[in-house]
Structure 1
Amino acid sequence: MKLLIFIIAFILGGMAGIVAMCLVQINRDSEAQLEKISRQEEMRKEEEEKCKET
């Protein structure tokens, strides 16, 4: 009986750990995409300013 409880707890703990790692990775990817978008917007604004100057 104790072995069965241990195995179930081990599996559930492993699943919880995997879910936590996936959520952290998703958050990291989202932040990278937002940073890339903001850089693109800044470059676009700089190009627009250069065009206005000429």
Structure 2
Amino acid sequence: AIAWIQQQGKGRVFYSSLGHREEIFRNPLVMQFYLDGIQYACGDMEADATPSAKR
């Protein structure tokens, strides 16, 4: 699974490849993960978007 956040100009990006099966979304931790990502992308939550590894 892959998930990341990134600042793009004045905007923010949240990407996740988690949850290809319906039962995944019933997990409260996964739901909170997506809600946090959406809040980050909307600008309602601060997070460190510094890459953890160099390409």
**TM-score, L = length of structure 2:** 0.31
Structure number with higher helix proportion:
1
Larger CA Rg, structure 1 vs 2: 1
**Structure showing greater relative contact order (alpha-carbon pairs closer than 8 Å, 6 or more residues apart):** 2
